[in-house]
Amino acid sequence: MDDFQLLVDLHRDAERQGPGGEAETRLSIALSGLSAAKNLRIADIGCGSGASTLVLAKHLEAQITAVDFIPDFLAKLEVEAARAGLAGRIRALAGSMEALPFGEAELDAIWSEGAIYNMGFEAGVAAWRKHLKPGGILAVSELTWLTRERPAELQAHWQREYSEIDTASGKLAILEKHGFSPLGYFVLPERCWLDNYYGPMEQRFASFLEAHGNSDAAFALVEAERHEVSLYERYKAFVGYGYYVARKVAG
Ligand code: SAH
């Protein structure tokens, strides 16, 4: 099994594949101003198994297209959507966030939690904008420096893993540069990382290693994840996920 398939295997049965939380998705909905809107068309990009998709479907009157390039994650979303009685509002679509199958000005909103980094924040913001109607909403969470200065070990790690990591003011400037007007920004609280993401993942390590016959590759993946958890635990005052909600400026 290659490294990518191992990664899918470690995260397939999880409720979410990145930091987040129901209350935080609801807060982004409140900031979007769409709570009372009708007949919305929304995309949830890099939805994984759909933790955010389910919250959007529950709290907005919308048809939601949930896009991810890993069919295993979408299959779990479809099961959960049916279980929650939300299947009629959600369409799961296997595809790349770099070639979205939407037309111009087709969507009222795009949500994307913990996923835009895969194509890069700026490239994603720039490319996805055309699919939004004028005044449409972009709501994304993105790895963010919480302070101007940070410890060298942390800086080196994230600079290597994701060179676009920046402070909130840097991310807001990118949004403005690409024709968005920021409506709100907040930081995901610790429990979104520790209780909702890292904790459940750590509980899966033993069965994951066993399922893969304790292979070197499986161990290496678990070690890399453990390292990331330890960095977060030690340095959470300096790094987190920022949630950015912005409106497309007409023109
Ligand atoms: N939004 C989910 C998943 C976040 S993890 C959550 O918060 O739980 C990032 C997701 O992006 C993964 O599900 C991964 O499969 C997806 N992804 C990564 N690169 C992608 C690409 N190029 N196109 C579509 N999806 C991608």
Residue 50 in contact with ligand 1 by CB distance below 6 A: no
Q: Name the burial class of residue 128, with classes exposed (0-12), middle (13-18) and buried (19+) by CB atoms within 10 angstroms of its CB.
A: buried
Q: Tell me, what's the pLDDT at 1?
A: 77
> Looking only at Cα atoms, what is the longest distance across the chain?
56
Helix/strand/coil percentages in the chain, nearest 5: 50, 25, 30
Fold of the 18-146+163-189+239-248 domain: Rossmann fold (3.40.50)
Å from CA of 105 to ligand 1 middle:
23
Which pLDDT belongs to residue 209? 96
Say yes or no: CB of residue 54 within 6 Å of ligand 1.
no
Ligand 1 close to Cβ of residue 48 (< 6 A) = yes
At 70, list the tokens: 């890993």
Smallest CA-to-CA distance from 102 within 43, 56, 62 is with 43
Which pLDDT value is given to residue 62? 98
b (16+ CB within 10 A) / e for 178-199: bbbebbebbebbeebbbebbbe
Are 20 and 26 in contact, with CB atoms under 8 Å apart? Answer: no
pLDDT of 37 reads 98
Q: For ligand 1, what atom is nearest to the CA of residue 20?
A: 7
Q: 3-class DSSP state for residue 214?
A: coil
Give the pLDDT score at 50: 98
pLDDT for 21: 98
Let me know the angle formed at the C-alpha of 114 by 113 and 116, rounded to the nearest 5 degrees: 90
Write the burial class of residue 88 (CB in 10 Å: 0-12 exposed, 13-18 middle, 19+ buried): exposed
Q: Of 76, 77, 122, 71, which is closest to residue 96 (Cα–Cα)?
A: 71
Entry pTM: 0.97
Reference 84, options 58, 123, 113, 122; nearest CA is: 58
Pocket test for ligand 1, best of 42, 69, 162 (most atoms within 8 A of CB): 69
What's the confidence (pLDDT) of residue 251?
74
Query: Consecutive 10-residue runs of the chain (251 residues): their mean pLDDT?
Result: 91 95 98 98 98 98 98 97 98 98 98 98 98 98 97 96 97 98 98 98 96 96 96 97 97 74
**Gap from CA of 7 to ligand 1 centroid (Å):** 12
Q: Is 100 in the pocket of ligand 1 (CB under 6 A)?
A: no
Q: Determine the atom of ligand 1 nearest the C-alpha atom of 47.
A: 1
For the chain, which residues make up each domain, given as ranges?
A: 18-146+163-189+239-248
Q: Is the CB of 20 under 6 A from ligand 1?
A: yes
If you take atom 12 of ligand 1, which residue's CA is the nearest one? 48
Question: Does ligand 1 lie within 6 Å of residue 52's CB atom?
Answer: yes
Q: Which of 100, 97, 90 is nearest to 58 (CA)?
A: 90
Ligand 1 atom 1 nearest Cα: 47
